[in-house]
Amino acid sequence: MRSPLARFLVRRILTALLLAVGITLVTFVLTNLVPGDPVAANLGQRAVGDPAIVAQWRADHGLDRPLPQQYLMHLEGLLHGDLGTSQQSHRPVLDDLAESVPATLELAGAAILVSLVLGVGFGVVAALRRDRLSDHVLRVLSLVGISVPTFWLALVAFYVFFFRLQITPGSGRVDPGMTPPPHVTGLYTVDALLSGRWDALSSAVAHLAAPALVLALYTIGLLTRFTRSAVLEVLGQDYVRAARAKGLPGRVVLFRYVLRPALVPVITVAGLAFGSLLSGTVLVEAVFAWPGVGQYAYKSATTLDLPAVMGVGLVVGVVYLVINLVVDVLYGVIDPRVRVS
Amino acid sequence: MTAEPRAAALTIEGLRVSIGGHDVLHGVDLAVEAGRVHGLAGESGSGKTMTGLAVLGLLPHGSRASGRIAFGGRDLLGMPARVLDEVRGAKIAMVFQDPATSLHPMLTVERQLTEHMRHHLGVGGREARDRAAGLLAKVRIPGPREALKRYPHQFSGGMRQRIAIAVALACDPEVLIADEPTTALDVTVQAGILRLLRGLCDDLGLAVLLVTHDLGVMSAVADEVSVMKDGLVVETGPRGRVLREPRHPYTRSLLDALPVPPAGENSP
C-alpha cells in the first residue's frame, strides 16, 4: 500500500515530465519564430553572398528540413543528451551549459538561502513586535530592498566594495591564477569542501558574497514583507488562541502553531522569487563577470546561436519545473489537507 | 430548582475591560460552581465572549482589564503569562465556537490532544496516547485509536467539536469555559453536544461556564443563568426562576423573542 504522500509525489512528477516535453516544444517554436537569420548572424559578409556556402551551412545545421522534422531531430538528440552544437563556440551546447549552469545555480542558490534565512527571520520578528520600533525599521528596510534596482545596486556595490574600499575580491568565481577545485558538482564552494581545498573555499566564498548579497536584497525584502503579513494573519486565527488557552509555552505556539501555516504563502513567494533571481543573475553576472548561464544566454541570443538559445531555454524551463515541483511537494509535507483530500 | 450553597470554583468580581480605550465590560460579577452549568446569555456584543476570554488572559491585542478573577485563592488577572500558563489548559480549559477554526488544520488529533497533557501532567508518549484514546471514547468518537492519527478536516463538524471538548478535558480541568459551543453546528448535532457537556459536568464535577446567545440552548442544560447586556450582568439566578419569572425587562424581551417557549418554563 502506498502512502498518500507517495501517491501525491508520483502524480506531481508525472505532471512535471509532461510539462518538460511542453517546454521543449515551446523553446523550439519560439526560437524558430525569432525574426532573424542565423545565416547572416554566423557567416561572414562574403560567405553570405555565396549561395553554395549558405546552402551547405544550412544543410550542416539541419536548417533545410521542414520544422516538424527539425523538432523531432531536436527531441531525439535531447534523449541522447545531445543539445546540438553551438554555432558560436563550436562546442556541444551541453558542455557549455555544464560550465555555466552550475555557476548560476551557485549564485542563485546562495542568494535564495540568504534570503530565506534573513527574510523569514526578519518577517517573524517584525510580526511579533508589531507596531514597535524594530517592526518599523524592518518594514522600511524591506521596502528599500524591494525598490532598489538590482543592476544599479550591482554597479554601486562593485564600485564601493571592490574598487574603493577593496574589501571584496573582483570579478570571477575564484582569485585569478587559482585553479578551481576538482569538478564534482560544478559548485565551487561545494567542490572545494569535498576535496578539502580550503584556499579555494575561502576564495570562492569571498567571490560569491558580494554578487549573492546584491542578488538577494530584493528577495530578502520581499520575503520579510510576506512573512510578516502571513505570521500576523495566522496569529489572529482561532487555533492560535486555542493553543494559548491550552497553556502551551510561547515558543511551542510560535513554531508549531504559527510558523507552519504561515510558511505556506512564504514558500509560494520563495519559489517565484527564485525564478526572478535566475533572471536577475543576467545583470549581476554581467557586472561581476560571473561566467554563468545569464552571460551565456546573452551571448547566444545576440549571435542568434539557435541551439545554444534552445539549450538555455530548456535548462531555465526545467529549473522552473523543479522549483515548482519542490514547492508543491513542500505544500504536501506542510499541509496534510493537500495530500489527504 | 434550589441547590445547597457550594464554594464557587471561579469567581469574577467587578471585571472591567476596555479595548483601545473603548469600554466593553463595566464591572461583571459571576460565580461558577463545581458540578454546575452556568449559562451566560445575551445578544452579540454584550460582552459574553470577552468575559470568557478575560478569564484565560486571551483578550485581543491592546486591551486592558481590571477587577478580580479569583480561582483557587489566586487572582488570574494580575498573573504574568508564564504563571497563567500553569492554569490555562490544566485547571481552566476552553472550548471555542467553531471547531473548524479552533483545531489546528495541520496537526493530527493525537498531537492536539496530547501535547498540553504531556506539558502540564508530564506524562510519557505512550501514556498520553492511551489517555487521548480514552478521552475520544468518552466524547463518543467511534474508533478512537484510528481517530488519533487523523486530521481535523477528516471529521464532521459535530465530531470536531467533540474532539475540541476532549482537548479541553485532557488535563482534568476544574473549570470549562464553552464559548458558543453549538452555534456553528447543525441543529441536529447541537443536542448531542449539550448532552455531552451536561454529562461531563455531572460525572466529573466540572464547573462549566456556557456562553451562548441562544436561550433555548441555555434552558436545556444550565443550572444557573446570567443575562448580560452592554457589558453588565443584569440578572442572575437559577434557570427555572430566571426563565419563568424574569425580573429584568431585558431578560423578558429576550424570552419574548423566542419562537417557542423555553424548556425551563415547563420544567418543575
Q: Which residue has the cell 467587578?
A: B14
Q: A with B: how many residue pairs have Cβ under 8 Å apart? A: 81
Check residue A3 and give its pLDDT. 74
Cβ(A106)–Cβ(A201) below 8 Å: no
Output A59 or B211, whichever has higher pLDDT: B211
> Which of B88, B108, B120 faces A245 most closely, judged by CB atoms?
B88
Domain topology for A97-302: MetI-like fold (1.10.3720)
> Which of A238, A243, A336 faces B101 most closely, judged by CB atoms?
A238
Cβ(A231)–Cβ(A259) below 8 Å: yes
Chain B residues whose CB is inside 8 A of the A3 CB are none
Query: Is the Cβ pair A239, B101 closer than 8 Å?
Result: yes
User: In whole angstroms, what is the distance from residue A221 CA to residue B149 CA?
Assistant: 39
Report the phi/psi class of residue B242: left, alpha or beta, with left for phi > 0 and alpha for psi in -120 to 50. alpha
Residue of B202, B215, B224 lying closest to B260 (CA atoms): B215
Check residue B224 and give its pLDDT. 92
Check residue A2 and give its pLDDT. 61
In this model, does residue A341 exceed pLDDT 60? Answer: no
- Helix, strand, coil tally for chain B in percent (to 5): 40, 25, 35
Check residue B267 and give its pLDDT. 44
pLDDT digits (tens, 9 = 90+) for A81-94: 888 788 778 889 89
DSSP H or E run through B37: strand B37-41
Cβ(B24)–Cβ(B18) below 8 Å: yes
Check residue B3 and give its pLDDT. 44
Query: Is the Cβ pair B56, A260 closer than 8 Å?
Result: no
Residue B56 touches partner A, C-beta closer than 8 Å: yes
User: In whole angstroms, what is the distance from residue B106 CA to residue A234 CA?
Assistant: 13
Q: Where are the domains of chain A?
A: 1-88+305-341, 97-302
Check residue B106 and give its pLDDT. 92
β pairing state of B63-71 and B74-75: antiparallel
Residue of A186, A211, A174, A217 lying closest to A285 (CA atoms): A211
pLDDT digits (tens, 9 = 90+) for A147-160: 998 888 888 888 88
Surface of B (137-176) touching A: CB under 8 A: 151, 153-154, 164, 167
Chain A residues whose CB is inside 8 A of the B104 CB are 239, 242-243, 257, 261
Query: Is the Cβ pair B88, A238 closer than 8 Å?
Result: no
Check residue A54 and give its pLDDT. 82
Q: Give B193→chain A minimum CA distance, Å.
A: 19
Cβ(B105)–Cβ(B151) below 8 Å: yes
Under an 8 Å CB criterion, which residues of A touch B? 130, 237-239, 241-250, 252, 256-257, 260-261, 334-337, 340
Locate A79 and state its grid cell.
534523449
In this model, does residue A55 exceed pLDDT 90? Answer: no
Nearest CA in chain A to B169: A246
Check residue B268 and give its pLDDT. 43
> Which of B107, B120, B151 faces A247 most closely, judged by CB atoms?
B120
Check residue B7 and give its pLDDT. 67
Q: Which residue has the cell 448531542?
A: B192
β pairing state of B8-19 and B22-33: antiparallel
Residue B184 touches partner A, C-beta closer than 8 Å: no
Write the DSSP string, A30-62: HHHHSSS-HHHHHS-HHHHT-HHHHHHHHHHTT
Nearest CA in chain B to A259: B106
Check residue B1 and give its pLDDT. 42
Which residues sit opposite B17 in a β-bridge?
Answer: B25, B65
Mutation for A interface: B50, B95, B104, B163, most A CBs within 10 A: B104
Burial of B73 (0-12, 13-18, 19+ CB in 10 A): exposed
Residue A287, φ and ψ in degrees, nearest 5: -70, -45
Mutation for B interface: A128, A239, A335, most B CBs within 10 A: A239
Cβ(B214)–Cβ(B182) below 8 Å: yes
User: In whole angstroms, what is the distance from residue A255 CA to residue A266 CA?
Assistant: 15
pLDDT tens per residue, chain B (268 residues)? 444 445 678 999 999 999 988 899 999 999 999 999 999 998 888 889 999 999 999 888 788 999 999 998 899 998 888 899 999 999 999 999 888 899 999 999 999 999 999 999 999 989 999 999 999 998 889 999 999 999 999 999 889 999 999 999 999 899 999 998 888 888 888 888 888 889 888 988 899 999 988 888 888 889 999 999 999 999 999 998 888 888 888 888 888 877 766 655 444 4
Q: What is the ipTM of this complex?
A: 0.86
- Greatest Cα-to-Cα distance within chain A, rounded to the nearest angstrom: 85
Residue type, B20: G
User: In whole angstroms, what is the distance from residue B41 CA to residue B30 CA?
Assistant: 12
Locate B204 and state its grid cell.
466529573
DSSP H or E run through B127: helix B125-138
User: In whole angstroms, what is the distance from residue B18 CA to residue B47 CA?
Assistant: 11
> Which of A238, A242, A260 faces B106 most closely, judged by CB atoms?
A260
Residue of B223, B221, B227 lying closest to B246 (CA atoms): B227
Write the DSSP string, A49-97: T-HHHHHHHHHHTTTTS-HHHHHHHHHHHHHTT---B-TTT-SBHHHHH
Please enumerate in sequence order all residues whose Cβ is within 8 A of that of A29, keeping only pairs 6 or more positions apart, or say none: none
Q: How many helices (H) and strands (E) does chain A have?
A: 16, 0
Instruction: Calculate the alpha carbon distances from B184 to A252, A260, B56, B162, B226 in Å.
Output: 28, 26, 22, 13, 22
Check residue A193 and give its pLDDT. 87
Check residue A1 and give its pLDDT. 45
Domains of chain B and CATH, by start: 7-91+174-185+204-263 (3.40.50.300)
